[in-house]
Chains A and B, each alone.
Chain A
């Protein structure tokens, strides 16, 4: 749905935010599709053709019967013609469940661009999930229990929360249900144990984690004179840190950030997930290309 650059938070009402790139997001959503996992363990039967054999009416192939196969699909006629007991295979028709978990902490709003990028990604994945007729849920992780959103842009209705780690709030919530595709949008700049990611969001068929960073958070050395003193203000806590931003400090910080990203990439790949990072000044088209390279989107 194209409009005047503002969109409705609940689908119909105009949103109070400044979502100026809605048209571009929708164009990207037309161009790309959400990559599906090889197995969707908890998908309901739906309109989407799965990659596995399933129970649709469309005949796909046959195979030798093996214990545990559904006796209803045994090709009795073929068995009568030959001694082989085969099973008809039909194309699977699925309706995957997609959970979009949005980090609602204040750290996601350190710059207007970062805030916008979170909106773009949430809206993009919401559109992509709808394109596959998935059962789409948006969740806002803030103080207290997860809040379910009717529309991804309903985040504008809620003030940013002053908390760091969203994983405790997710425990026991619906996003920990097994199966489905789970998209987690966060900057991941808070201290957390990667095992927490597994234990909370990891029990799904495909976990997609998108790290959203401001340009400074991605490369603090840009635009600063060497050795200048900088006070880093934590957006989520009333604390700051004075650092001397010289080349060594920047390099050290970037090594630590790269280590975090590398660790997450490896963890998610091992369990069929995907990780991508974006900075808030990256063009949307470039972002989609990098998501495609990461195997998150397909064309």
Chain B
């Protein structure tokens, strides 16, 4: 006998309350009257005897106490569990999108469904785990065959990746030590390392497939934009294919592809600028349809305005590097700039600029020292040093500036303990960086590191500008965003087109990074309603070469004899007891009411 919710026993306190109510009810007002015969009709049946005896003998009280007792037992979840044993199987199904590949008229996922339906027996129990990027239990634990098959019917594999190891970890938790796990996948070779713990069931079939493995769009002029796509053939060149761009389901551009190898083919299309999504579709139809269509939403436009003062040393090198970066504008004055370079200490006019890089004045001092590229260390997470190769760079710096190490908030580049490029002041609106470099005696301007460094500075500044860093992502890719909320509710919600419920909601500041996004078109709204103002729109496309390549797929018949079932001690709640108690309580309440009423 167990109590599922022992706190419910607190309801037993109702018993003394009922007793107290009855006790005080017995203490009636009394009135002396000349006779009782006119009152015969109003007589209430009260048992004779002393007060305590009356309480004991009072039928309404007895039934009320019984009802309270049964109610307490119900609330406490009194249960005498029914024990039974059954065989238990843990099943993992590959949830990757390649399971949708249709070969020979049959889809891998359907073969998996039919295989499981033919093998699973009534009376056994199952735990069904979908191996997606973040594996999840589809049915169970210890689901019946019908429940498991129903979950399989509603299962649509769509994940860009299958995390089989994590899925095995999850499935192991539901099985016993000596039981094995049944894993159904279209790519049994990829699960070869799991053979010791799982029984593999290959349901895939090798097939050629042509896929769009990358696509993006960018604005090239005010009224034009460029769509870039990469198409790759897997498992043999199809020869000819066709890539069509659709705007509102109207074909606006078509490119015939002559694919003679499995090497990626890059396609560029110049299209009129539009704020609407553009759909790319690859034809003819092949084994996997999911990677033949891509939707591209408009790319974000976040030009970075750079201010270069006239007295900046080596200004022409700054200017060249800035103008070679995409979407940059030169600001005529600091007030209109997002990023500014300056020599020496920044003036007050630069206080409102989002990013300020203050370089040394360039005058050679007695304490000047030199760092060469191999001695300069980059901070691992620094956005300023991404793709930056400093080999061969001579970086003269003011050795006395090592005192600044105490004021450095974070160093992106440093020489031993001396920060060379570092932030020394940061507010919510702006960051001031210092570059401890003598510009008049370095070779960095003639090194490939210079435009990369300036480009990183510009892109880091761009990421700080309001909006999304990118709008067309690959499934599994993280989205950087910097949302600037308008007037109104400071709530941000994430919606996926085609779904009625919101996916996520942030009542405080929204995060800077969104992760684990599955393919689809997403909307960020200010507010939690479907009609709330739209902040940003972005799209996640499949772009998974691993899933598009159907060559490793294979069909493997499992050795189901080796599939040992776990012994499941099935403990079920005794619903007969539950309904019995419920009925008893209803009867007690009814009898208490009847006897109470019959007292009149």
Contact = CB atoms under 8 A, between A and B. Distances in A.
A252 B41 CA distance: 8
Contacts of B500: none
A235 B29 contact: no
Interface residues of A, number: 37
A233 B34 contact: no
Contacts of B33: 107, 110, 189, 214, 216-217, 232-235
A249 B42 contact: yes
B349 interface: no
A234 B36 contact: yes
B118 interface: no
Given A229-B25, A252-B41, A107 B31 contact: no
A241 B46 CA distance: 9
Interface in B8-46: 25, 28-39, 41-44, 46
A240 B30 contact: yes
Among B34, B35, B41, the one with the most A-chain Cβ atoms within 10 Å of its Cβ is B34
Contact of B36 (A105, A110, A239): A239
A113 interface: no
A224 B32 CA distance: 15
A253 interface: yes
A256 interface: yes
A240 B35 CA distance: 10
Interface residues of B, number: 19
B600 interface: yes
A31 interface: no
A257 B30 contact: no
Contacts of A240: 30, 36
Contacts of B34: 105, 107-108, 110, 187, 189-190, 213-214, 217, 234-236
A217 B41 CA distance: 16
A236 B34 CA distance: 7
Contacts of B28: 228-231, 242
Interface string A210-221: 000110110010
B35 A242 contact: no
A243 interface: yes
B35 A243 contact: no
A63 interface: no
A236 B600 CA distance: 24
Among B33, B43, B46, the one with the most A-chain Cβ atoms within 10 Å of its Cβ is B33
Contacts of B32: 110-111, 233, 235
A244 B38 contact: no
B44 A244 contact: yes
B580 to A, nearest CB: 34
A39 to B, nearest CB: 34
B29 A257 contact: no
A257 B40 CA distance: 12
A229 to B, nearest CB: 4
A107 to B, nearest CB: 3
A191 interface: yes
A220 B38 CA distance: 12
B29 A229 contact: yes
A189 B35 contact: yes
A164 interface: yes
Interface string A38-54: 00000000000000000
A260 interface: yes
Nearest to B43: A241
Given A228-B29, A231-B29, A243 B38 contact: no
Interface string B387-419: 000000000000000000000000000000000
A187 B35 contact: yes
B29 A233 contact: no
Nearest to A237: B36
Contacts of B36: 232, 234, 239-241
Given A191-B35, A242-B44, A253-B39, A230 B600 contact: no
Interface in A227-271: 228-236, 239-244, 249, 252-253, 256-257, 260
Contact of A242 (B37, B38, B41, B46): B46
A110 B31 CA distance: 9
B281 to A, nearest CB: 79
Contacts of B29: 224, 228-231
Given A242-B44, A242-B46, A244-B600, A230 B30 contact: yes
A48 to B, nearest CB: 36
Nearest to B35: A189
B452 to A, nearest CB: 90
Contact of B38 (A189, A214, A229, A230): A189
A88 B37 CA distance: 56
A164 B227 CA distance: 113
Nearest to A228: B29
Contacts of A256: 38, 41
Contacts of A235: 32-34
Contacts of A234: 33-36
A105 B33 CA distance: 12
Nearest to B37: A191
A260 B34 CA distance: 15
A249 to B, nearest CB: 5
A121 to B, nearest CB: 15
Contacts of A108: 34
Nearest to A254: B38
Contacts of A110: 32-34
Given A187-B35, A232-B36, A234-B36, A243 B30 contact: no
B37 to A, nearest CB: 4
Among B38, B46, B600, the one with the most A-chain Cβ atoms within 10 Å of its Cβ is B38
Given A110-B34, A217-B33, A235-B32, A243 B25 contact: no
B578 to A, nearest CB: 36
B193 to A, nearest CB: 79
B59 to A, nearest CB: 15
Nearest to B32: A110
A191 B33 CA distance: 14
Given A228-B29, A230-B29, A231-B30, A241 B39 contact: yes
A230 B39 CA distance: 12
Contacts of B35: 107, 164, 187, 189-191, 234, 236
Nearest to A103: B34
Contacts of A244: 42, 44, 600
A145 to B, nearest CB: 22
A79 to B, nearest CB: 63
A243 B43 contact: yes
Interface string A276-293: 000000000000000000
B32 to A, nearest CB: 4
Contacts of A111: 32
Contacts of B41: 252-253, 256
A234 to B, nearest CB: 5
A108 B36 CA distance: 14
A132 to B, nearest CB: 31
Interface in A74-129: 105, 107-108, 110-111
Contacts of A252: 41-42
A41 B529 CA distance: 102
Contacts of A242: 28, 43-44, 46
B23 to A, nearest CB: 13
28 contacts: A107-B35, A108-B34, A110-B34, A111-B32, A189-B33, A189-B35, A190-B34, A190-B35, A190-B37, A191-B35, A214-B33, A220-B31, A228-B29, A230-B30, A231-B28, A233-B30, A233-B31, A234-B36, A235-B32, A239-B36, A240-B30, A242-B28, A242-B44, A243-B44, A244-B600, A253-B39, A253-B41, A256-B41
Interface of B: 25, 28-39, 41-44, 46, 600
Given A105-B34, A232-B30, A232-B39, 4 more contacts: A108-B34, A228-B29, A233-B31, A244-B42
- Closest 9 CB pairs between A and B? A107-B34, A189-B35, A189-B34, A231-B30, A243-B42, A229-B28, A187-B34, A110-B32, A191-B37
